[in-house]
Amino acid sequence: MHKSFKFNYLFNATLCAITVILAVTPANALPEQNISTVVKWAKTRSQLPTLRYNSEAHGYEGTKGNLYFYADVTEQNGTVTKEGITVSGDDRLKLTTKNVKAVKLLQNIYNSNIANDFQKSGYVTKVGRDQFYRGQKFAYITAQVQGGSSFQIIPLRNLPEFINNAKYCQTNQCDL
């Protein structure tokens, strides 16, 4: 009887601890999560804009200062397929694995796990202006764009598809 009581006590204490941790730990919005999670998460990040649905872009987006954030979804209430940021107006900020300021920005927006995964990711290839990287958790695409620098997070398993699409768009007209 004593062992049963002890087990129940430890089990309940563990459940309570997990509940507290989940309540205190900030949510991280990443590809393959529901867009409602991403929109709620964005509201907790002071550097991010309020996100609004844009049916033409098939996703949620917003701009705050020189930071543009977007999350692509298959449908208005669907799952995020990719998301990213573009920073404009700062020639010193290149969203690359070796730029300390860029990695710090990603840490502030996402968390240190994502920033470290990106920083330690391996270079895969370059197609046009896009550079593709393979991390342990996600894949990343960076590019120097007109007036700024862009960064995208995609599911790791989708990296070959994104590379193939970029190659296809090099020789065919694609909607970006």
Q: How confident is the model at residue 171 (pLDDT cuts 50, 70, 90)?
A: confident
Is 4 within a domain?
no
Is 14 within a domain?
no
3-state secondary structure the chain: CHHHHHHHHHHHHHHHHHHHHHHHCCCCCCCCCEHHHHHHHHHCCCCCCCCEEECCCCEEEEEECCEEEEEEECCCCCEEEEEEEEEECCCCCCCCCCCHHHHHHHHHHCCHHHHHHHHCCEEEEEECCEEEEECCCEEEEEEEECCEEEEEEEEHHHHHHHHHHHHHHHHCCCCC
Is 66 within a domain?
yes
pLDDT of residue 74: 82
Is 11 within a domain?
no
Range of the domain at 103: 29-171
pTM across the whole model: 0.81
Is 8 within a domain?
no
- Our count of domains for the chain comes to 1
Mean pLDDT score across all residues of the chain: 84
Is 90 within a domain?
yes
Is 88 within a domain?
yes
Question: How does pLDDT run across 82-120, given as a tens digit for each residue?
Answer: 999 999 988 788 999 999 999 999 999 999 999 999 999
Is 49 within a domain?
yes
